């Protein structure tokens, strides 16, 4: 076994009111990928920020090649040969790939930036790690996956010995993830030390040699050989309890037809899409990124302009005037991007729950009834087990799973709820919170509501939905009842059909 390149010894970190890390020790070796597992709030991100020089440990120490490190800034960590690829990528959208990679170290000639030289150097770097990208392209024009590649190229250009990834696949499509995995393997083969954080167990099994599991800021276990650890064991270690079936699906009787979508069209979806949902049914939507699932949901919700078609709820047409009209009819949406589209990040938990607050009983004439608002918020914080110190806590300080629950609470508090649409409801959320969200979905369905779940995670939609609709290139490519829905059947419908591509468009 190789020597430990990176070692955490008894590291602790205290934030006001929370012990984020409590005496954590583990090590990572050259030429190996070490996975970090744990629910949100378990301490993984704090650890990475410490590695990246953003936080300093309160206790314990960090050793690189046997020497203790004391990072005061992100610059110190980079100088020591550590690169952290954060979930939220850090780049300058207006600058080119080459400029981003070499930012701070741009080659100059006569005091001016030597663009030709910069692009030549970066092109060589990109070629070396096998990425096809134009070094002159502006970062803002690239896809998220490509921006991530640039970030990795930057780490390699800085000759980082240790590269840490924080949930790198959370916003990548299937195919983009494959490219990332190949890159991780290549970096490993070069003898670099890799740290990898993800919530997707399949991915961790495929990539990691060893792993450490965290819970509530403490280390639960380290495994030198990841492949020998059983999946159930990993999950129960992370969650702290047994989770037999995280999807919690139980067959239920199908109700009456409630929602009918007929030839719905928009600028982004010109083909006219039709489908139906029964009361008490959970309908899954699957497709590759760009297949038009989110666009269809936004259109159904009135967030995008309708060009044609009709939506009927219990036989009555639903106005296309906008989200406010959809909500009035009983259709609500938990959007794909929680931060940008879902949350009022500066506001409190209670304000986020109560925002669509023309609710019965919360108003006395023109005026808000603060007591009732508070009581309603508290009731939902308890019912959905939202982990927050108080309803007045800023929602931005909550973990992803709890933020999602806040948005769910907003809609579950809606007395006229009939159709609940969830777009990627568990993206970036840990296993325990996922399970709670699935149970809420089943609970809403049991009330006789229609639930539509859009997800790029195939096991998830297969696990919770009664029926699956697959989309491809802005069209509905097929429909699978639960009994016939398998990964192969769904993927066959989702992937582009080479025989057809000659005729379509």
The residue among 379 and 446 lying less far from other proteins, judged by its C-beta, is 379
| Range 10-39, binding other proteins (CB under 8 A) | 15-17
* 3-state secondary structure labels for all residues of 12-26: EEEECCEEEEEEEEE
DSSP state of 138: B
Is residue 345 near other proteins by the rule CB under 8 A? yes
Question: Smallest distance from the beta carbon of 449 to other proteins, in angstroms?
Answer: 17
Is residue 69 near other proteins by the rule CB under 8 A? no
CB–CB of 302/319 below 8 Å?
Answer: yes
Distance CA 134, CA 118 (A): 12
Is residue 375 near other proteins by the rule CB under 8 A? yes
Token digits of residue 161: 């010995």
Distance CA 327, CA 318 (A): 10
Collapsing DSSP to helix, strand or coil, 185 comes out as: helix
Which part of the chain contacts other proteins (CB under 8 A), choosing from 86-94, 112-120, 212-220, 351-359?
351-359
Which part of the chain contacts other proteins (CB under 8 A), choosing from 64-72, 233-241, 243-251, 319-327?
319-327
Question: Smallest distance from the beta carbon of 70 to other proteins, in angstroms?
Answer: 15
Collapsing DSSP to helix, strand or coil, 132 comes out as: coil
CB–CB of 193/5 below 8 Å?
Answer: yes
CB–CB of 414/356 below 8 Å?
Answer: yes
Is residue 344 near other proteins by the rule CB under 8 A? yes
Per-residue x/- mask for other proteins, residues 381 to 420, rule CB under 8 A? xx------xxxxx----------------x----------
Is residue 72 near other proteins by the rule CB under 8 A? no
Question: Smallest distance from the beta carbon of 409 to other proteins, in angstroms?
Answer: 12
Question: Smallest distance from the beta carbon of 474 to other proteins, in angstroms?
Answer: 22
Question: Smallest distance from the beta carbon of 39 to other proteins, in angstroms?
Answer: 20
Distance CA 72, CA 78 (A): 11
Instruction: Tell me the DSSP string of 188-242.
Output: HHTT-EEEEE-S-HHHHHHH-SEEEEEETTEEEEEES-GGGS-HHHHHHHHHSS-
Collapsing DSSP to helix, strand or coil, 108 comes out as: strand
* Helix, strand, coil share of the chain (percent; to 5): 35, 25, 40
> Residue 73's closest CA among 90, 103, 100, 50?
50
Question: Smallest distance from the beta carbon of 388 to other proteins, in angstroms?
Answer: 8
Is residue 322 near other proteins by the rule CB under 8 A? yes
Is residue 127 near other proteins by the rule CB under 8 A? no
Distance CA 346, CA 254 (A): 41
Which position among 18, 95, 113, 303 is part of the footprint of other proteins (CB under 8 A)?
Answer: 303
Which part of the chain contacts other proteins (CB under 8 A), choosing from 336-344, 432-440, 456-464, 491-499?
336-344
Per-residue x/- mask for other proteins, residues 154 to 193, rule CB under 8 A? ----------------------------------------
Residues that bind other proteins (CB under 8 A): 15-17, 49, 54-55, 301, 303, 322-324, 326-327, 333, 335, 340-347, 351, 354-358, 363, 366-368, 370-371, 374-375, 378-379, 381-382, 389-393, 410
């Amino acid at each position: 076994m190789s020597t430990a390149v990176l070692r955490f010894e008894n590291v602790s970190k205290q934030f006001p009111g929370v012990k984020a890390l409590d005496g954590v020790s583990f090590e990572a070796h050259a030429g190996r990928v070490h996975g970090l597992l744990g629910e949100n709030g378990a301490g993984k991100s704090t650890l990475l920020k410490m590695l990246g020089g953003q936080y300093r440990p309160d206790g314990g120490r960090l050793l690189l090649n046997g020497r203790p490190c004391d990072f005061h800034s992100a610059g110190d960590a980079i100088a020591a040969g550590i690169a952290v690829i954060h979930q939220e990528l850090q780049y300058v959208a207006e600058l080119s790939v080459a400029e981003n990679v070499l930012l701070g170290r741009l080659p100059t000639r006569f005091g001016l930036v030597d663009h030709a030289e910069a692009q030549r150097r970066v092109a060589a770097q990109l070629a070396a790690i096998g990425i096809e990208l134009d070094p002159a392209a502006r970062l803002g024009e690239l896809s998220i996956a490509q921006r991530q590649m640039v970030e990795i190229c930057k780490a390699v250009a800085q000759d980082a010995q240790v590269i840490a990834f924080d949930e790198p696949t959370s916003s990548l499509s299937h195919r983009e993830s494959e490219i990332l995995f190949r890159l991780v393997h290549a970096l490993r083969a070069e003898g670099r030390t890799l740290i990898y954080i993800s919530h997707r167990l399949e991915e961790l099994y495929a990539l990691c040699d060893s792993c450490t599991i965290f819970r509530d800021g403490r280390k639960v276990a380290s495994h030198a050989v990841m492949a020998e650890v059983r999946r159930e064991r990993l999950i129960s270690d992370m969650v702290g309890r047994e989770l037999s079936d995280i999807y919690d699906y139980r067959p239920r009787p199908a109700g009456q037809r409630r929602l009918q979508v007929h030839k719905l069209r928009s600028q982004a979806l010109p083909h006219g899409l039709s489908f139906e949902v029964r009361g008490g049914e959970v309908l899954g939507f699957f497709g590759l990124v760009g297949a038009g699932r989110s666009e269809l949901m936004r259109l159904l919700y009135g967030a995008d302009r309708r060009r044609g078609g009709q939506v009927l709820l219990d036989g009555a047409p639903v106005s296309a005037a906008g989200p406010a009209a959809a909500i009035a009819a009983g259709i609500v949406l938990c959007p794909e991007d929680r931060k940008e589209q879902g949350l009022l990040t500066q506001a409190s938990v209670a304000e986020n729950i109560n925002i669509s607050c023309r609710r019965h009983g919360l108003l006395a004439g023109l005026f808000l009834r603060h007591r009732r608002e508070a009581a309603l918020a508290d009731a939902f914080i308890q019912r959905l087990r939202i982990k927050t110190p108080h309803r007045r806590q800023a929602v931005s300080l909550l973990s992803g799973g709890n933020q999602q629950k806040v948005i769910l609470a907003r809609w579950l508090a809606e007395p006229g709820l009939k159709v609940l649409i969830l777009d990627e409801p568990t993206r970036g959320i840990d296993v325990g919170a996922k399970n709670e969200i699935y149970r809420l979905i089943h609970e809403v369905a049991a009330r006789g509501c229609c639930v539509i779940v859009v997800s790029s995670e195939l096991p998830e939609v297969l696990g919770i939905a009664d029926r699956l609709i697959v989309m491809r290139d802005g069209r509905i490519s097929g429909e699978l009842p639960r009994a016939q829905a398998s990964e192969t059947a769904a993927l066959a419908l989702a992937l582009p059909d080479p025989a057809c591509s000659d005729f379509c468009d």
